[in-house]
Amino acid sequence: LLALGHRGEAWSLKGNHGNALRDFEAAADIDPSFAGALLARGRERLILGDAAGAVAALTEAAKLNPAEPHVHVLRAMALLAQGRPEAAASEFATALRLDPVVAAKYLRSGCSRFDRCDYRGALIELDAAARLDPACQEAIRYRGCSLFHVGQPERARVDLDEAILRKLDDSAAHLYR
């Protein structure tokens, strides 16, 4: 069971989200009370664009471990993907109440994924960081660069223009414009 979880995380870190999802699904099927596998399954479904599947997995994970802020952040992102901003706002608030520095953790993780060229995974985490802490300039800049890499240049331009307007001393924002 733990081997499936470790292998799934390795696949995810390499940007191979399909294989990661298969391992997390197998782990959750073996032990439906394994909250970590449910959380990871929800994350991978979100990265792969399955918002409904992500919400379902993360709702189960939240029932098993309601004090885990990451469950609430990822559930909020999935709810946003479903067009449910009010429900997402409540989840973000819960995550911040549970862990006031959760935004910084998502920023670090998103930047790490970006550095490994996992732009889809980075985008989810950097978007969460920017929504949890709208003043976080680094999250906005990296989110813009990730959007560019996943083929969303118009959305990227919005973030990168904001980064430039905030007078970031960063040539990367100018390179992607």
Question: What pTM, to 2 d.p., does this model score?
Answer: 0.84
Low-confidence winner among 8-22, 63-77, 107-121, 157-171 (lowest mean pLDDT): 157-171
Distance CA 103, CA 51 (A): 21
In this predicted structure, the answer to whether residue 147 has a pLDDT above a threshold of 70 is yes
